Amino acid sequence: MDFAHDVIAWKRDGNELDEPRMHAFVQGVVSGAVPSYQASALLMAMVLRGLSDGETLLLARALVDSGKTLDLRVLRRPVLDKHSSGGVGDKVTLVLAPLVAACGAVVGKMSGRGLGHTGGTLDKLESIPGFRVKLPQGDFLRQLERIGVAVVSQSERVVPADRLLYALRDVTGTVECDGVIAASIMAKKVASGTSAVVLDLKVGRGAFAADLEHAREIGRLCRLIGDDYGRPTTCLFSAMDQPLGRTVGNRLEVEEAWQVLRGDGPEDVRDLTLELAAELLPLADLGMDAAEARARAEAALADGRAAEHFERWCYVQGGDWRPGEFQRLAGHEVTSPRAGYVTAVDALAVGRAAQTAGAGRRTVEDKIDASAGVLLEHKVGDQVEAGEPLAAVFSRDPARRRQASTVLETAFTVGPEAPPPAPLVLGRE
């Protein structure tokens, strides 16, 4: 029997993987010595048997060791990062990164593309003409030193094992293992040279974690890995039953992020951004607590510094940012079937409608339409009249627009009474 077969059988029978088995398996995935069908089999054994805390740490270490790691200590300053577990309409990085940099800290982030109903930060940035998401390491470091902010694509040489395993997990029904999820998140942060991380773990219908207890367990495992590598890691848990903000779609979300940077925009996007800034800035070398951090971030939004930093960031990274010139595509409205109050907006359905319109991918190879997406005219708690527009879907393709509208119609629930207010931030650890 070959080695991979023995490792699969060992885990299948409920035994704990030790360092030699875990390391050899991950290295075999990268080298090709472990074929995809055997890698998928072990992933399924991990899902069914679970991973202990020790196995989670071993997996994270093996993933980090599978490729190149970046050393950002040459900057002689903490490099901060924020990770979101994925949500619908989550454009917070577009606001938070330049905001935190405008407050004097350094934000360096390797980000990913969207897959499924959640959007990717890189896709949003690339909706800005000329914006370069691929930067050589030297340019990445110089940009961080020059303006304090850079968001780039993940290098194929950084944690290559995670990229290969992620693709298998997505198509083999083996995503749902908390230890693998935490190891995947944190290995990329460690390997990319991040000094400290704040995790925005989404909870609800449009998120991976349907309930707070599950999100907290993922957060606990992420903090365990962060502690192991000496990377301070804090978690903020935010609601994702309805979309964040009023836009879902790449260029639409950039335009909305710009509104927030200018001191306007949806209240929920602004509030969540400020909450995250209050968590991130105390991890820098600025000597401030959470209250002072939030006050400084609020001031940067109010006096225009955050917006100026966004413009500078776009310019330095090649983007031709011209606010207000974006022309929306032809749209199709979804209207309220009755008078009353919006009691629910299903984030998952809205995300799928935007994906159908062309704003998202079904596979990594799919092309996206940067202009496609959904605009919400009303959110939970709003009063509406019969026939009043609830949302509009935009797409270049009339057939896609019709299909997306059908999906979008299922997202709204209108009832006779206003629902009680629900918190956006559910906790922090």
- Residue 340 has phi, psi (to 5 degrees) of 155, -145
Give the C-alpha separation, 428 to 423, whole Å: 13
> How far apart (Å, rounded) are the C-alpha atoms in residues 344 and 290?
32
Residues 6+ away with beta carbon under 8 Å from 349: 407, 408, 410, 411
Q: Which of 126, 81, 139 is nearest to 107 (CA)?
A: 81
Rounded CA-CA distance 45/407 in Å is 35
Q: How far apart are CA 164 and CA 155, in angstroms?
A: 13
For the four alpha carbons of 249, 252, 254 and 257, in that order, the dihedral sign comes to negative
Any idea which residues carry the catalytic annotation? 83, 162, 169, 184, 188
* Residue 395 to residue 282: CA distance in whole angstroms: 42
Can you count the helices (H) and strands (E) in the chain?
16, 13
Angle at 256 between CA 79 and CA 361, to 5 degrees: 80
152 alpha-carbon distance from chain centroid: 14
Q: Which residues of 269-299 are buried (b: 16+ CB within 10 A; e: fewer)?
A: bbebbbbbbbbbbbbbeeebeeeebbebbbe
